[in-house]
Amino acid sequence: MDLISQLVFGYIAIAVAMAIAWARAIQINKAGIVDVVWTFALGFLALFYFATIDNSLRGTRQWIVTALVVAWSLRLGIYLYRRVGRESDDSRYHALKKHWGGIANLKFFVFFQLQALADSFLSIAFLIALRNQSPFGSFWDWAALLVALIALVGEGVADRQLKRFKSRPENAGKTCREGLWRYSRHPNYFFEWLYWWSFPLFAISVDWFWLTLLSPLVMLALILKVTGIPPTEMQALKRRGDDYRRYQQETSAFVPWFTHTSKN
């Protein structure tokens, strides 16, 4: 199957899955389902792309790239699934429901479908990496694998540290400053972004290599300006007030870095 057909058929499958997820979200009043489906969808796309490329293209790099995407998708998807199941809906979605009012369900349908488009767009990076026909084993291949593994481990550690902190009753209303969260206010977002840099490295010798750069760049824009840090910090300030303001003054927002003393 050619690249365009893979993208089109992959998108249609994810769009249908998002429509079903939207109906279920309305039924149980949890828009956070979109995050779970968004994550598992990328793993599905990796498997679909791998299954539909020419047999001659399936080599070590293709197996590794597919395994990395599926591993990332399963780890984060299961983590989000459990969180959505045991907690109330994310504060970001509560804010959207309040803002959209009576047409919230319709707007959420559009929102879910935009996530399907986002999945397809981001998947271009690993689809092109899967079409790299050069033999595996170059410096860039090993660098890509190292970056992906560091990112997967880092994001997993950050999520576990935050989960452990929140599980202790004495920490209610407090800001997590343990482990990686001492050096970045959003280490999970940082490692998420780092993960997407592995695919340009895997695809560095492909003609359409430049397209793979769009995924980490768009991901960075979303994290810093749209759906990542801004709404997360706005809700943190509402819940934790001055404690979180001090955290903002003392701790790097994104890239893990040394802390500094608050002026207050």
Query: How does DSSP assign 177-232, residue by residue?
Result: -SGGGGT-S-HHHHHHHHHTTHHHHHTTTSTTHHHHTHHHHHHHHHHHHSSSHHHH
> Is the same domain home to 163 and 253?
yes
pLDDT at 263: 56
Instruction: Note the pLDDT of residue 262.
Output: 58
Q: Last residue of some domain: 91, 116, 131?
A: 131
- Domain that includes residue 113, residue range: 1-131
Are residue 144 and residue 263 in the same domain, yes or no? Answer: yes
pLDDT given for residue 264 in this prediction: 55
Are 125 and 153 members of one domain? no
Domain end call among 131, 159, 185: 131
Q: How many structural domains are present in the chain? A: 2
Domain final residue pick, 91, 111, 131 = 131
Q: What is the mean pLDDT of residues 211-232?
A: 90
Q: 144 and 92, same structural domain?
A: no
Say yes or no to pLDDT of 15 above 60: yes
Same domain, 100 and 8: yes
51 and 88 fall within a common domain: yes
What is the C-alpha separation between 196 and 202, in angstroms, rounded? 11
120 and 142 share one domain = no
Say whether pLDDT at 89 is over 80: no
Q: Read off the pLDDT band of 205 (50, 70, 90).
A: confident
> Global pTM?
0.90
- The residues near 64 (Cβ < 8 Å, ≥ 6 apart) are 136, 145, 202
Mean pLDDT of 146-161: 96
